[in-house]
Chain A
C-alpha cells in the first residue's frame, strides 16, 4: 500500500475526533473534570488537517511528516492535546522515509507513538490515553502473522483500543468514582477507528467538515500562508448581517473566489445570516464596499499591519518579560498592573494552545520570559513552549491557579533581573494555598464526596474537591476549613467573578474570617467566568 494512504488515515482520524468532540468533552474527569478533552484533541488534529490541505493531491515527502507533526504540536492545547501531538510525533517520525505502508512499519509506527507519548509525561498515569495506545498496539502485535494486512492490523488496533478502554476504570480510581471511561483513551479509539475507516473502499478524501480551515489562494494562484509574519497591508475583520432578501442569492463559494483578488489569509464563516470575514488586504475599502451590498456591518476592525510590524520592529528587546495565562478582565488588569506584559486568555475549561502561548512569548520580545501557566493543565503546554521558543529563554513558574499567579506577582519587582524575579516568585509560593468555588457540571463521587451536577463545589489547590452543596456558603466554608494551617493564615484575597454581588462578598468575608480571625481579608474583582470565587490564602 502506498504511503500516501497515511493522508487519508489522518484525515479520517481527525474527522472522527471532530464528530465525537462533545462525547469526549462530557466524559472528561481526569486529571480535572473540566470537559475539554474533545476540544483539545480536536485542536491538535486541526493542525494535521491544515497541513493535509496544503499538501493536497501530491505525494507525501519526508518534510511533510515533519510539517504534520509541527502543526499538530503548534495547534495543541491542554494535556490531552499535547499528549496526542506527542503520540503523532512518534508515529509520523517512524514513517517519515517510508515509501509504502505495510503492517510491519505500521506496527513500528504505533510502538514509536507509544514511546513518544509516554516520554512526554513526567509521571505517566495508567488508565489513560497512554495505556490505551500502548495496549492497542500490543494486542495488534500479538495477533500479527504473515497473513496480516494493513487493514487487519488496524482492525486489531481498534479492537485492542476498545478492550483497553473498557478497563481504564480498573486502573484509574477517579474514573470508577464517576463511572466513566477515560476520555483521552476514548479519543485514541476515535482516532484509530477513523484511521481504519480510511482503508474502506468507499472512503472519500475531502475536507467538507473542515471548511473553515481552508487556506486561500492569492490572485496569481499560489498558496499563501500566514506563518512567516512578512505580511503587510490591512488586517480587515467584519461581521455582516446578510439581508433576508439577499440570503438566497448569497453563495459563499463565489464570495471566496472573489476575495482571492482582494488579498490573502481569508477566513470566511457563515452562520445563518451572520457572515464573518477576516482578510489581509491592501485595499480594505474595496472589501467593505463588496460586502456592504449584502447588508449592514455588525462589527468592523481594520488594522495597519505594516505599522504593527514596524512598531514591533522598533521595540527594543527587553531583558525579561512576564507572560501569564488568566481569565477575567479584572484578573487581566490586576496582572498587568503588577508588570505582566502579555496575558493569554484561558484557564480550566479553555486551555490555551501551544501556538497561542508561544506567540505571546514571542510578542514580548525579551531575552528571558517568565511564564505563569496558572493551571495544572497548562503547565505541560508551557513546557512545550519552553522547548519551542527559540527567541527567548522561557522560565516556568508552575503556578496552579490564578490566585497563585497573583501571589507570585505580588512580591516581585517587575524590573528586577529575571533570576531574582523567578526566585522571589518561587519563594512567595511556599506555604500558599488557593481554592475556588464553582458549579459542578457533572455528577459523580470524587474524593469520597458525592457531587451532583449544578452543585457548588469547594475545591482546594486546584483539584481536591472538599464539598458539594446547593449552597455556595457551605462550599466556601468547607473549602476554607480544608486549607492546611488555616488558623495561621495571615492574609486572604477573594477574587470575585463578574456575576458576584457586593452583599455576597461581604458574607464571604465574614465566613472566611471565622476560620482565620487574624487574617487581613481583601476582596478584588477578578471577573473570571468559570469560578464563582477564587481565593488566595497566605
Chain B
C-alpha cells in the first residue's frame, strides 16, 4: 500500500525547519513588481524578508500570483512518480484560486496515474493556520492514519483553526482586495487598526477597529485567550511582517493570560505579507468553531 505525502503552498508560511521536521512539501506561488517576478519561496531565496518589507515601506507594491498549474504539475508528478499519494492542503479558496486550479488540474493528472489518490483540501485559512493543519496531518500520518482518515479529520475540524490579526495600515488589504468589510468600515482612517479573523468562507473579515497599535496588540492577545481551546496542547504561532518586537509583545501578553502557553514567532511569508503589509501581526491557534467566533460567543 502506498503512503501519502503532504503538500501545501506558499501561504502556509511553514519554515524550512518545520517542513523538514514534518516532511511537508509546498507549491510556490509567485509575486512580482515592476516586471520582476519572484518565486514565493518561504526561505526567501530570491529576496530577503528585510529587503522585501522595507521596499513595501518605501512604497513598492507587489502583485501576487496563485500556484501556476505548471508548478502543480512539477511538484505533484514528482511525488506521484515516487509512488506516493497526495494530500494537498491549499490556501483558502476565499483568498486564492490555487485550490480550484488544483482541483481542475488533478482531474487531468488522474489519467496519467490511474488508481492513485490525490485529495485537495480547501483550508479556508492561510498562514500558520494552513501550516498547522499540514503539521497535524503529518502527525496523523506518522501515527499510521490513512490518507482518507487524515483528510476526513481535517475536513471535519478545519473550522477550528483560526486567526486574530491586525495590520499597521488598511491600505494593503484594501488594494489586494483580500478583506471583507463595508466601504464605510474602511473610510479614511488614521491610527485606527482593524482586527481581522478568518470567516466561514475563508475570507479575512474585519470584525473590529481599535485605536492605536498598542491597543490592537492587546486585543489580539485577549481574543486569542478568549477563543483558544486546549491552550496547553498546541503551539500558538505568532506571525509578523518584520516587526519582531510587536510579535514579542503579543507573545508576552498571551503568556500572561494563559500561563504555560507555548508560543512561536515566525516571519510572515511573501504572499501573505504582500497582502497585509509590513508591521502586520497575526496569531494562529486552534480554538472554538469559527461560527462561534463570528457570533462573538
Contacts and interface: CB of A to CB of B under 8 A. Distances in A.
Contacts of B208: 411
Nearest to B183: A337
B58 interface: no
Contacts of A338: 184, 187-189
B156 to A, nearest CB: 32
B215 A490 contact: yes
Interface in A180-218: none
A505 interface: no
Given A413-B182, A414-B182, A415-B182, A491 B211 contact: yes
Contacts of B189: 338, 410
Nearest to B212: A490
A538 interface: yes
Contacts of B183: 337
Contact of A410 (B181, B209, B215): B209
Contacts of A414: 182, 184-185
A428 B189 CA distance: 14
Interface in B171-223: 181-185, 187-192, 208-215
A520 interface: yes
A30 B212 CA distance: 36
A339 interface: yes
B211 A411 contact: yes
A337 B188 contact: yes
Contacts of B210: 411
A493 B191 contact: yes
Contacts of A538: 191, 211-212
A492 interface: yes
A453 B211 CA distance: 37
A524 B191 CA distance: 11
Interface in A400-429: 407, 409-415, 428
Contacts of B211: 407, 410-411, 428, 490-491, 538
A409 B212 CA distance: 15
A114 to B, nearest CB: 45
B279 to A, nearest CB: 11
A415 B190 contact: no
Interface string B23-36: 00000000000000
B191 A334 contact: no
Interface string A469-511: 0000000000000000000001111000000000000000000
B185 A522 contact: no
A31 B182 CA distance: 40
Nearest to B182: A415
Contacts of B214: 490
A391 interface: no
Contacts of A490: 191, 211-215
Given A411-B211, A428-B211, A490-B213, A337 B191 contact: no
Interface in A409-456: 409-415, 428
B213 A520 contact: yes
Nearest to B207: A413
B215 A337 contact: no
A415 B184 contact: yes
A333 interface: yes
Interface residues of A, number: 22
A412 B208 CA distance: 8
A492 B213 CA distance: 12
B136 to A, nearest CB: 34
A522 B189 CA distance: 9
A198 B218 CA distance: 69
Contacts of A337: 183-184, 187-188
B209 A411 contact: yes
Nearest to B210: A411
B192 A411 contact: yes
Among B182, B183, B192, B214, find the residue whose CB has the most chain A CB atoms closer than 10 A.
B192
B221 to A, nearest CB: 16
A368 B111 CA distance: 62
B184 A339 contact: yes
Nearest to A428: B211
A412 B207 CA distance: 10
Nearest to A341: B184
Contacts of B213: 490, 520
Given A538-B211, A538-B212, A491 B190 contact: yes
Nearest to B189: A410
Nearest to A413: B185
Contacts of B185: 339, 413-415
A537 to B, nearest CB: 10
Contacts of B215: 490
Given A411-B210, A490-B214, A524 B188 contact: yes
Nearest to A334: B188
A274 to B, nearest CB: 38
B182 A410 contact: no
Nearest to B216: A490
Contact of B190 (A411, A412, A493): A493
B232 to A, nearest CB: 33
Contacts of B191: 490-493, 520, 522, 538
A149 B211 CA distance: 66
Contacts of A428: 211
A302 B220 CA distance: 54
Interface in A503-538: 520, 522, 524, 538
Interface string B226-258: 000000000000000000000000000000000
Contacts of A491: 190-192, 211-212
B203 to A, nearest CB: 16
A328 to B, nearest CB: 13
B209 to A, nearest CB: 5
Nearest to B211: A538
Nearest to B186: A337
A414 B209 CA distance: 12
Contacts of A522: 190-191
29 contacts: A337-B183, A337-B184, A337-B188, A338-B188, A338-B189, A339-B182, A339-B185, A407-B211, A409-B187, A410-B190, A410-B192, A411-B209, A411-B211, A412-B209, A413-B181, A413-B182, A413-B184, A414-B182, A415-B184, A428-B211, A490-B211, A491-B190, A491-B192, A491-B212, A493-B191, A520-B212, A520-B213, A538-B191, A538-B211
Given A407-B211, A413-B185, A520-B213, 7 more contacts: A338-B187, A339-B185, A409-B187, A410-B190, A490-B212, A491-B211, A524-B188
Interface of A: 333-334, 337-339, 407, 409-415, 428, 490-493, 520, 522, 524, 538
Interface of B: 181-185, 187-192, 208-215
Closest 7 pairs between A and B when the two form their complex, measured CB to CB:
A491-B191, A490-B212, A339-B184, A522-B190, A337-B187, A338-B187, A414-B184
